[in-house]
């Protein structure tokens, strides 16, 4: 089946959506960065070849950001405003 996924247009996997649900089930409000650090801490050292810390963070959290996007489309999460560190998401 070629093309974009209809149910998860951001291409998220069950694993990354599971991380999001697990973290938001406890914290209720979290940023994509916090979800990545708690749900998949082994990914914290990925993309260290990027030049700036911002580029590293964007690359490291891309999968969880996509999972959050797909979950928003299904009504399972929503933007909860912003925090000091970035945009928060809540269940």
Per DSSP, the three-state class of 81 is strand
Segments in 4-88 forming alpha helices (H): 14-27, 32-39, 53-73
Residue 1 has pLDDT above 50, yes or no: no
Q: Decide: pTM greater than 0.75.
A: no
Tokens representing residue 50 in the block: 């990027």
Structure-model confidence comparison of residues 83 and 1, the more confident one: 83
Share the mean pLDDT of the chain: 81
The answer on pLDDT for 6 being more than 60 is yes
CB atoms within 10 A of CB 8: 19
Query: Percent of the chain having pLDDT more than 90?
Result: 9
**Residue of 59, 31, 30 whose CA lies nearest to 44:** 59
Q: 58-75 pLDDT, tens per residue?
A: 888 888 999 999 999 988
């Amino acid at each position: 089946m070629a093309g974009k996924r209809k149910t998860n247009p951001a291409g998220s996997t069950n694993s990354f959506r599971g991380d999001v649900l697990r973290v938001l089930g406890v914290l209720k409000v979290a940023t994509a960065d916090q979800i990545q650090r708690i749900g998949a801490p082994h990914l914290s050292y990925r993309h260290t070849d990027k030049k700036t810390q911002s580029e590293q963070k964007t690359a490291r959290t891309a999968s969880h950001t996509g999972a959050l996007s797909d979950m928003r489309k299904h009504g399972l999460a929503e933007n909860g405003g912003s925090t000091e560190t970035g945009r928060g998401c809540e269940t």
